[in-house]
Structure 1
């Protein structure tokens, strides 16, 4: 039987949107995940500045949070987002990779609670912060 971490890794590589956006899973632990979203001109939201669209940032954060849930030792199978709040702190620097780091801070029988931060190469200041709840269970 595969471990939760193995299931999470397989899940990420199977997601079409993760492949299309070039997202990669860079670190995975018990209830923790880190994912990278490389800069891509196709994801620019403001052509005048070259800033990546907030939707791309939210996508990597949401996917990273779900991966953190799946990798938690008490998780059972896949997950789905119930609620996700993202606070954008600043624009991501054009040309830089956005890295999302998510931690499953609490898990119950049916719901997992996650926090996340997105940074770019200018890591002194976060691009965004998130908190959310996710389903727990094989039939999420």
Structure 2
């Protein structure tokens, strides 16, 4: 199945439909198998102890899986998360951006399920794993 939105189109969509995210997240790569999204880590994403906060990692996973779905179905702004689970496995490094490697496990007419593995940039072991289910509105 050919992508309906590439990385540039997804970033443009985020910029217009979610301007509050500008400068925080970017889709770096999107193809039929994998989407990679980046969280540009700043002081606002850190918690005491010099690590990236759980809510920041969750937001990255949410953006990654959401944009992976849109890359396949087009700009459907009202697709919403209906279920989410995240496992925090390692302390992310405060001085590094985070990357989410996302794969869609199921893409149906009304539900989509995706998984994101989150890594500190340049590190090979994941810091978190997240799975999410989205509801896709009727078109």
Runs of at least 5 residues in structure 1 that lack an aligned partner in the other structure: none
Q: How does 1:83-98 map to 2 (within 5 A)?
A: 83-98=83-98
- Give me the whole-angstrom Cα distance separating, in 1, the residues matched to 2:138 and 2:10: 13
Q: Equivalent residue for 2:10?
A: 8
Q: Equivalent residue for 2:117?
A: 117
- Scaled by the length of structure 2, what TM-score is found? 0.83
Q: CA 1:60 to 1:115, structure 2 compared with 1: closer, same or farther past 3 Å?
A: same
Equivalent residues of 1:118, 1:128 under 8 A apart: yes
Q: How many residues align?
A: 132
- Scaled by the length of structure 1, what TM-score is found? 0.82
Equivalent residues of 2:110, 2:138 under 8 A apart: no
- Give me the whole-angstrom Cα distance separating, in 2, the residues matched to 1:17 and 1:58: 16
Runs of at least 5 residues in structure 2 that lack an aligned partner in the other structure: none
Quote the offset at 1:111 in angstroms.
Answer: 0.3
What is the SS of the residue equivalent to 2:94? coil
Quote the offset at 1:127 in angstroms.
Answer: 0.8
More moved, 79-88 vs 9-18: 9-18
- Give me the whole-angstrom Cα distance separating, in 2, the residues matched to 1:67 and 1:61: 10
Q: How does 1:15-54 map to 2 (within 5 A)?
A: 15-19=18-22, 22-30=24-32, 32-46=34-48, 49-54=49-54
